[in-house]
Amino acid sequence: MDNLFDFSLVFTQIPAVLTALPVTLWLTVLAMIFGLAIALAVAVVKIAQVPVLSQFCSVYVSITRGTPIIVQLYLTYFGIPLILRYINYYHGTNFNVNAVPPMFFALTALALNQGAYCSETIRAAILSVDKGQIEAAHSLGMTTGQLLRRIIIPQAFVVALPPLGNSLIALLKETSLAFICSVVDITARAKILAGNSYRFFESYCSVAIIYWVITFVVEQSMRYAEKRLRIPDSPKENPNPK
Could you report how far apart the first and last alpha carbons of the chain are, in Å? 79
> How many C-beta atoms surround the C-beta of residue 52 within 10 A?
8
Radius of gyration for the chain, computed over Cα atoms and rounded to the nearest angstrom: 23
The pTM score is: 0.86
> How many C-beta atoms surround the C-beta of residue 163 within 10 A?
16
pLDDT tens per residue, the chain (242 residues)? 457 888 888 899 999 999 999 999 999 999 999 999 999 999 989 988 989 999 999 999 999 999 999 999 999 999 999 999 999 888 888 888 888 899 999 999 999 999 999 999 999 998 888 888 888 887 888 887 788 888 888 888 888 999 999 999 999 999 999 999 999 999 999 999 998 888 899 999 999 999 999 999 999 999 998 888 776 554 555 555 54
Q: How much is the pLDDT for 242?
A: 46
Q: H helices of the chain, where?
A: 7-12, 14-18, 21-48, 53-65, 69-91, 102-127, 131-139, 144-147, 153-174, 186-197, 200-229
Q: How much is the pLDDT for 238?
A: 54
Distance CA 148, CA 142 (A): 10
Contacts of 17 (CB under 8 A, 6+ apart): 186, 189, 190, 193, 203, 206, 207, 210
Q: How much is the pLDDT for 1?
A: 44
Q: How much is the pLDDT for 216?
A: 96
Q: Which domains does the chain have, with CATH numbers?
A: 7-229 (1.10.3720.10)
Distance CA 18, CA 213 (A): 12
